[in-house]
Amino acid sequence: GQNIDQPTEMTATEGAIVQINCTYQTSGFNGLFWYQQHAGEAPTFLSYNVLDGLEEKGRFSSFLSRSKGYSYLLLKELQMKDSASYLCAPGYQKVTFGTGTKLQVIP
C-alpha cells in the first residue's frame, strides 16, 4: 500500500517562490509524479523523477530523495494562473495520488 502526505493548503504571493512537500511510504517504489489540477478540470502532468536529485523544467522544479521518501515541487516566479491543486503520486505503471495541495496565489 501507499501512504502519501502533503499539506492541504498553501498561500503564496504573485512573483514569489513556493515549495510544496510530499512524503510517502510505498512498496515497490519506482518513481514519483507531480500533476497540476485546476478547479473543475482534469489533472495534467508536470514532472516525473526516478532518480534522486533535482529536475528543472522552466519555472517548475521537482526534487526526489528515495531514501527519505521525500519529494518537493518548487514553483518560481508565481503567476495567478498557478493557483491550482498539486498532486504528488508515487508510482510507475500503477499511479496512486495523494490528496493534493491546494495552492492559492494572491496579488
Partner 1 sequence: GAGVSQSPRYKVAKRGQDVALRCDPISGHVSLFWYQQALGQGPEFLTYFQNEAQLDKSGLPSDRFFAERPEGSVSTLKIQRTQQEDSAVYLCASSFPASGANVLTFGAGSRLTVL
Residues that bind partner 1 (CB under 8 A): 30-31, 33, 35, 41-45, 48, 50, 85, 87, 91-100
Q: Could you tell me the smallest distance in angstroms from the CB atom of residue 30 to partner 1?
A: 7
Q: Could you tell me the smallest distance in angstroms from the CB atom of residue 84 to partner 1?
A: 13
Q: Could you tell me the smallest distance in angstroms from the CB atom of residue 42 to partner 1?
A: 4
In the bound state with partner 1, the residue whose beta carbon lies nearer, of 87 and 105, is 87
How does DSSP assign 11-79, residue by residue?
A: EEETT--EEEEEEEEESS---EEEEEE-TTS--EEEEEE-SSEEEEETTEEEEEETTTTEEEEEE-S--
- C-alpha torsion sign, points 83, 59, 91, 68: negative
In the bound state with partner 1, the residue whose beta carbon lies nearer, of 13 and 92, is 92
